[in-house]
Amino acid sequence: MTERRLPPVTQLGMLSLALIVAGGIYLSAHLPEHVPLAPAVVLLAASAVVLGVNMFLLSRVQGFDWPRFFEVGKWSLLAYLVIAGMVEYVFLRNHLSGGPLIVLTLSLAVFAVHVPMLVGFTVARYSDDGARVAA
């Protein structure tokens, strides 16, 4: 049984989540005052870039168990879309609008994509193709 190296998908995923959580805390902590959106936008953009880098690095892995990744990832995505939808509903229920709503909605989108990706990755890296992988 051989080991092969994988990109640091979990670490990057956690970094991306930490960035959007920080942006969310920044915005929530200032309600109902109007605060500059720039810090939250920067954190969201950085999180989205990390998500993009993570996807790119993972897409380049040779022999990765993609069927398993998508099999688990799609159900996970469904579950996290429901959770993100609940949070979005609470924002809308409280008449959040404009820039903060856009930033928080996009943050939820990053969250709803990145978590299923982490779940799919963690499952698929231990595939049965004979090559156990380590990050």
Partner 1 sequence: MTDIAIPAPTAAPETESGPAAPPGGLRIPDFQIVPRAGLAIVGAVLVLLIVAIAANKLWPLMFFHVAGGAAWTIIDLFLGLVLGPIMGKMSIPARVEFTTRLMPKMLLIMPTVVTATLAAGWQLGIKTGNVLSISQNHGWVVASYIVVGVMAVLALGLLEPANIAVLVELKKPRPNPHVIEQLMKRFIYCAGILGAMQIATLVIMTKLASG
Q: How is residue 132 annotated by DSSP?
A: E
Rounded-to-integer distance, Cα 21 and Cα 108, Å = 10
- Comparison of 56 and 89: residue with beta carbon closer to partner 1: 89
**Per CB under 8 A, does 135 bind partner 1?**
no
> Could you say which of 76, 100, 106, 108 contacts partner 1 (CB under 8 A)?
76
CA distance 59 to 74: 17
Q: Which stretch binds partner 1 (CB under 8 A): 37-45, 48-56, 77-85, 102-110?
A: 77-85
Question: Is 28 one of the binding residues for partner 1 (CB under 8 A)?
Answer: yes
Q: Are 104 and 27 in contact (CB under 8 A)?
A: yes
Both tokens of 103, joined, read 């930033």
Asked if 47 touches partner 1 (CB under 8 A), the answer is: no
Work out whether 49 is an interface residue with partner 1 (CB under 8 A). Answer: no
Window 100 to 129, contacts with partner 1 (CB under 8 A): 111, 115, 118-119, 121-123, 126, 128
The string of DSSP letters for 68-125 reads HHHHHHHHHHHHHHHHHHHHHHHHHHTT--HHHHHHHHHHHHHHHHHHHHHHHHHHHT
Q: Give the interface with partner 1 as residue ranges (CB under 8 A).
A: 1-3, 10, 13-14, 17-18, 21-22, 24-25, 28-33, 68, 72, 75-76, 79, 82-83, 86-87, 89-90, 93-94, 111, 115, 118-119, 121-123, 126, 128, 132, 134
